Chain A
Amino acid sequence: METTAPTAPTLNYLNNGYGLKSWLLTKDHKRIALLYLWSITAFFFLGGFFALMIRIELLTPASDFVQPDTYNKLFTMHGVVMVFFFLIPSIPAVLGNFLVPIMVGAKDLAFPRINLLSWYIYVLGGLFTIVAAVTGGVDTGWTFYAPYSTSASNSHVILAGVGIFITGFSSILTGLNFIVTVHRMRAPGLTWFRLPLFVWAMYATSLIMILGTPVIAITVLLVAVERGLHLGIFDPALGGDPILFQHLFWFYSHPAVYIMILPAMGVVSELVQTFSRKNIFGYSFVAFSSLAIAVIGFLVWGHHLFVSGQSTYAGLMFSLISFFVAIPSAVKVFNWTATLYKGSISWDSPMLYAFGFIGLFTIGGLTGLFLATLGMDIHLHDTYFIIAHFHYVMVGGAIMGYLGGLHYWWPKITGRMYPEGWAKFAALNIFVGFNLTFFPQFIVGYLGMPRRYAMYAPEFQIYNVLSTAGATILGAGYLIPMIYFTWSLKGAAIAGDNPWGARGLEWEIPSPPPTENFPASPIVTENTHQYAPSREVGIV
């Protein structure tokens, strides 16, 4: 709509105060989001480094690159770093922190100082984990099952456990902040059903953070106590029950995977609307499906315990309910597809990530049903099929959603437009690399290759070689946005308030936004995402 080149606003949150103190003591949710962006990116590449080591070892059937003990540490640290320090915080802490106050029309989150505290807590927990990694690592697997973790392992379990415990509080405080903000700080006229779907997704995610994280906190505390004081809580040799550990661990860790995917689904809901220039099909269904996933996700954890010694009837029940949890996810996929139908689709890079998400999440989710089937899981448990399944949803799903959101809102966050050609190239690179890495793992897992083994039968080698080749391409693909995003901060074109022509409160304010977001509280009179004329005003 503008005929002159856009200019950046003179005073915005980025230049409102310079110096380390103005960043490290900031209360501005947008600056805190950037603090998280840098630390989360650092952890992503740390976890990626461990992944690279794993894939190099798996090029050959023998354990020749690293010893098996070291290999155990590699996959453990890869899992711990990626799950607790990248996937769980990523979208909520970066995009959620930045956007939720703006999307509800507020000046900041409900508790800005607690927001800053949550970042410091995250960094502190991360430091503990890094120290554990460099002083020898942990070899229990990211799931640190007892009694190995409590009694037999010789690695730095307590140190890493403390790191995870501390970081859990960061998650809790973020969720708390979002819940109170959405309930109590919406602008006048902004009813629940006028909220962007991204906010619904963040709200549902926050519910899971609040209700689930404390349980893993107490579990890791008990592991540390048992390990330190030789008590018999989980170790059967001391009279404990190892299955109790698994119940407590997975009560959080299954809903945790919904913490990882729901925000990405929220991003995709936004992208699909903007880049097909249509209102979402079935807004309330998509909104409620986020809540349904959050709630039902708490009822299915026993599907991780099918072969553990859990009772058969409990297994049956968990299997049945696990099928139900797929339904709200399917509702979303159907509604996104219906939104695309007869939309005016543009193939900008964020949309490429959205398409990638929809396809890859569908594959990952459907393979989850294989695993939810009690009989099949007996065969597939602890094989590469599981690994392929969760990487499809977590990498093909969650990370694609994160990257899509990062690209979509990058002009808003920085005021700069990244180079679109390179972004498209990177997206395709990531898509190809990802599928080459993880699709062979479905096959080799189904054929029986177990997970967490440095050595494997020689007939599996071809699949592993393909997978490592894919991982190399994927890793290169992730580096490309790092480069052009960094370059764009100074070298790229200025973005203007609304480079995508999108709807939403965040696109009504300058890019980058001023510190207080809005000069005065906006008054909302209809759904903030209206691409089609609303029925009340008649056909345009």
Chain B
Amino acid sequence: MSDAPPRYHPPPVAIHPEGHAPTPHHPWLQHHFDSMEQQAEASTLGMWVFLVTEIMFFGGLFMAYLVYRHQSPMGFQEASHHLNIYWGAANTAILIVSSLTMALAVRAAQTSQPAKVQVRWLLATIFFGLCFLGIKAIEYTDKFRDHIVPGAHFQWEGLYPKPAEQFYSLYFAMTGLHALHMIIGIGIMAVIAFLASRKTFDSDYYTPVEVAGLYWHFVDIVWIYLFPLLYLIGRHYTPGGH
């Protein structure tokens, strides 16, 4: 009997026999969480993990850019030269402003500012997001007009037509995917602004604003890399030279 393996021991864990009495808790606390703090930590971690997937998602496109630019450096510079650097720079500035207004919106909720202050910052963020999309619409229309949309109607008068078409395929893929994320972001902001107007957020509960802010800042960061890689590499390009 002493050789036999030990019998099943009493559980090493204590499962309290008394049931869970309903204790008063914040109206926005979901029941599988123990505290608002745990809920907030889980939500922010969840958004960060999601943003990592977004990094890898855009990363595939940046990988394609890297390979094709390595293969045709002059062609990419020539193609980039054709982009309007001023629209691009303006859009960069606009997105940075929108990140500022977003960060201030989060801070407003975090410091229990009145609902209309929170909403004001959120609407400002949406406004600048729409400005960004407006400029992109102008740029895209210009491309259609100049026949540099890749596909059947692509016409390139410069020296490197094939790399130019690759460049513009990547341009549309990358900025298009980015714009799609902007549109989704604006939709999210509209929902957050609506909730904020109903006095939902204060220093006890502002996680949705913070988490939406993380998403918005991420979309800004993608553009921070897109802008130089697409718009600035051909600035001093001269045909036939370097």
Contact = CB atoms under 8 A, between A and B. Distances in A.
A225 B169 CA distance: 10
A214 interface: yes
Interface stretch (A240-248, A313-321, A422-430): A240-248
B138 interface: no
Interface in B127-177: 150-152, 162-163, 165-166, 169, 173
Interface in A165-182: 172, 176-177, 179-180
Interface stretch (A56-64, A108-116, A479-487): A108-116
Contact of A185 (B7, B42, B54): B42
B56 A520 contact: no
B56 A184 contact: no
Nearest to A278: B5
A291 to B, nearest CB: 16
Interface string B40-78: 011001100110111111111101100110010000000
B20 A520 contact: yes
Contacts of B13: 105, 187, 189, 505, 508, 522-525, 528
A525 B12 contact: yes
Contacts of B63: 244, 247-248
B15 A518 contact: yes
Interface residues of A, number: 67
A214 B59 contact: yes
A522 B151 contact: no
B49 A179 contact: yes
Given A214-B56, A232-B166, A110 B42 contact: yes
Contacts, number: 149
Contact of A501 (B8, B64, B163): B8
A508 B11 contact: yes
A211 B56 contact: yes
Interface residues of B, number: 50
A520 B15 contact: yes
B31 interface: yes
Interface of chain B: mostly helix, strand, loop or mixed: helix
Given A184-B45, A232-B162, A239-B166, A213 B53 contact: yes
Contact of B68 (A176, A241, A278, A523): A241
Nearest to B151: A229
Interface stretch (A43-51, A400-408, A529-537): A529-537
B20 A519 contact: yes
Contacts of B19: 519-520
A176 B50 contact: yes
B9 interface: yes
Contact of B38 (A184, A218, A523): A184
Given A179-B49, A214-B57, A508-B13, A521 B34 contact: yes
B1 interface: no
B78 to A, nearest CB: 15
A217 interface: yes
A229 B172 CA distance: 12
B240 interface: no
Contacts of B57: 214-215, 217-218
Contacts of B49: 176, 179-180, 210
B2 to A, nearest CB: 10
B16 interface: yes
A180 to B, nearest CB: 5
A231 B151 contact: yes
A459 interface: no
Contacts of B165: 231-232, 239
B210 to A, nearest CB: 15
A400 to B, nearest CB: 26
B54 to A, nearest CB: 7
Given A240-B166, A530-B9, 11 more contacts: A105-B13, A106-B32, A110-B46, A187-B13, A211-B56, A213-B53, A241-B68, A247-B63, A248-B64, A519-B17, A525-B13
15 contacts: A110-B46, A179-B45, A179-B49, A211-B56, A214-B56, A214-B60, A218-B58, A218-B59, A230-B151, A231-B165, A241-B68, A248-B63, A520-B18, A520-B20, A528-B13
